[in-house]
Structure 1
């Protein structure tokens, strides 16, 4: 490439020769102080209206004259500066265009190199994911970060040793995380089998980020609740079976009491047997007991039991309910 920078371009620069503006500020300040002291507040109070107007004209004229001179000097200084800036802007335009072209070419090369680095990083991650039996796009969001020049050796498309070690650590950590996740799912499924619970809801809870210990604790609560419900159902069933058995026994007893004696040879019903007479002669004495009953089947079961008592002429007294 031809060297377009020569000694002249490298050394040329504007040269400013400062000018000097002569003005005796010290004498000016003294004169101003003297004028101010001659026109104190008390002296101003003694001046006539026309005298005040004359003093305004006098000092305003002096101030205007000084400001006009300032503007004149400013113009003398400003015009060369404006001319210099306009000429320099025009002369710098080709130089700026050249710099822009060079930057565009540099950016083109940088972008190409960045693309090569990104492809290399992607290939490294995919290879390591394949070895660890991970999805090849697991670290897709890491590619751009590791494509920076600081992770590569000099101008080579080759990762530094410490960069590779860092990538290995990321892959290993993800592998361990997935193994732990799989083990957690297996534990949930095994616990679900032991507790006779469906595993899918708890697996979804794990997928949503809930810690395993909380899931296992919830599974135990659900298991305990299911056991309690089962026990309640069994108790209800047992109570119902006992009630039916009692009804059946009482029905059999009633039926037996109604059976009359029969002559074995003739089949004739014997109306008055001695045991019956004795039973009639000896009426049973009332028998009273105090019970506290709990009906697992609820109020409905109590009403059924109460009807049974009434059907068998058993008197009862309610001392209280749900105590």
Structure 2
């Protein structure tokens, strides 16, 4: 690359030769004071409206004449500056274009170096994660935050000791957190087995950052509720079994008692019925009796009685 140090571009500069504006301010100030003193406050009070306008025009004209000259001088200086600025902007265009290219190249190299640093940080994290038994992408969102120039040794692709220590602290903290999580999962699984509860709802709660102590409290509540439900179900089952046993006993008792014939119209007892055993020993001549029976044991007792009739070959008809 050509060395342009100390060349013409570095030494050239605009030269400004200031002009001289000659004006006798001392005499001008005296003239102003003399003009102002021509009209005292008392004289002003005695002036007519037309006279006031005339004096305004006269004194304003004196100031306007000088201000016009000021503007004329200002335009001369301004035009020179405007012309210089316009020509300078045009001449600088190639130089500015070159600067844009240089800046783009600078940014490209800067980004490339940054990506190299990020890649190095990634490899450091992955290596440490492998040693700790963690997933290699555990800290992928941290790579860029450790890839600043200040995190590396001067002119070396090597992290500073302080930076490495920060990374070690992160990895160890995550390792401890994961070990604690595994221990908590094991405790939940053991408790679920002991309580005869499903594991998934409680491990899912742990994954959602619910404290372990709260999960264990909930598991105990769920266990107690399950025991209570089981006890109620067993008590209900026992009560139902006792009720059925009572019904069966009543049915057997009813079947073993004498069956009395009752007049369907008057409700009077016609005669004592003979036990089933005796009836079975009678001649097989058909014998028909109209009965009206009341089963105080309910429908179940009727079914027991009907079975008894069927077992002894007694035909019956339900009259509506």
Give me the TM-score of the superposition, normalised by structure 1.
0.68
Residue in 2 aligned with 1:191?
Answer: 191
1:214 corresponds to: 214
Is 1:74 aligned to 2:101, yes or no? no
Structure 1 unaligned spans of 5+:
260-266, 269-306, 310-323
Encode CA deviations 1:48-82: one digit per residue, 9 max, x unaligned: 33223323322332342233122112112212222
Distance in 1 separating the partners of 2:186 and 2:37: 99
Considering only CA atoms, is the larger Rg found in Structure 1 or Structure 2?
A: 2
Query: Larger deviation: 42-51 or 122-131?
Result: 42-51
Secondary structure at 1:2 match in 2: coil
Is the alpha carbon distance of 1:185 and 1:43 closer, same or farther for their aligned partners in structure 2, counting shifts above 3 Å? farther
Aligned to 1:64: 64
**CA positional deviation for 1:160:** 1.8
1:126–1:74 distance in 2 versus 1, CA, 3 Å: same
How far apart in 1 are the matches of 2:124 and 2:91? Answer: 51
Aligned to 1:170: 170
- Deviations along 1:104-132, whole A, 9 cap, x unmatched? 33333222222222222222222222222
**Correspondence list, 1:270-281, <5 A:** none
**Using a 3 Å threshold, how does the CA distance of structure 1 residues 218 and 90 change in structure 2: closer, same or farther?**
same
**Conserved? CA contact 2:153–2:159, under 8 Å:** yes
Matches within 5 A, 1:28-107: 28=29, 31=32, 35=36, 38=39, 46-107=46-107
Partner of 1:229: 229
Look up the SS of the partner of 1:171 in the other structure.
helix
SS at match of 2:174: helix
Q: Would the alpha carbon gap of residues 32 and 204 (structure 1) be closer, same or farther in structure 2, given more than 3 Å must change?
A: farther
Indicate the larger mover: 126-135 or 25-34. 25-34
Distance 1:38 1:212, change over 3 A: farther
Give deviations 1:130-150, integer Å, cap 9, x for gaps.
222222222111222222211
Secondary structure at 1:197 match in 2: coil
Aligned: 1:117 with 2:117: yes
Q: Is the 8 A contact 2:118 2:143 kept in 1?
A: yes
1-structure distance, mates of 2:198, 2:37: 101
Question: 1:43 Cα deviation (Å)?
Answer: 6.4
Give 3-state SS (helix, strand or coil) of 1:83's partner: helix
- Alpha-carbon displacement from aligned partner over 1:17-54 (angstroms, at most 9, x marks no partner): 545544638954993797499475x8666543322332
Number of equivalenced pairs: 267
Measure the CA separation in 2 of the matches of 1:187 and 1:36: 106
SS in 2 for 1:136: coil
Give the Cα separation in 2 of the matches to 1:25 and 1:257. Answer: 154
Decide whether aligned partners of structure 1 residues 31 and 228 sit closer, same or farther in structure 2, where only a CA change above 3 A counts.
farther
Three-state SS of the structure 2 residue aligned to 1:3 is coil
1:161 aligned to 2:184? no
Whole-angstrom CA distance in 1 between matches of 2:27 and 2:230: 110
C-alpha RMSD of the superposition: 3.8
Q: Which runs of 5+ in 2 are unaligned?
A: 260-277, 280-295, 299-320
Q: TM-score, length-normalised on structure 2?
A: 0.68
| Counterpart-to-counterpart distance in 2, 1:222 and 1:33 | 109
What's the counterpart of residue 180 of structure 1?
Answer: 180
Query: SS of 1:75's equivalent?
Result: helix
Bigger shift: 208-217 or 239-248? 239-248
Classify 1:4/1:158 alpha carbon distance in 2 versus 1 (closer, same or farther; 3 Å). same
Contact residue 251 and residue 297 of structure 2 kept, 8 A:
no
Residue 156 of structure 1, CA deviation: 1.7
Contact kept in structure 1, 2:185 and 2:203, CA below 8 Å: yes
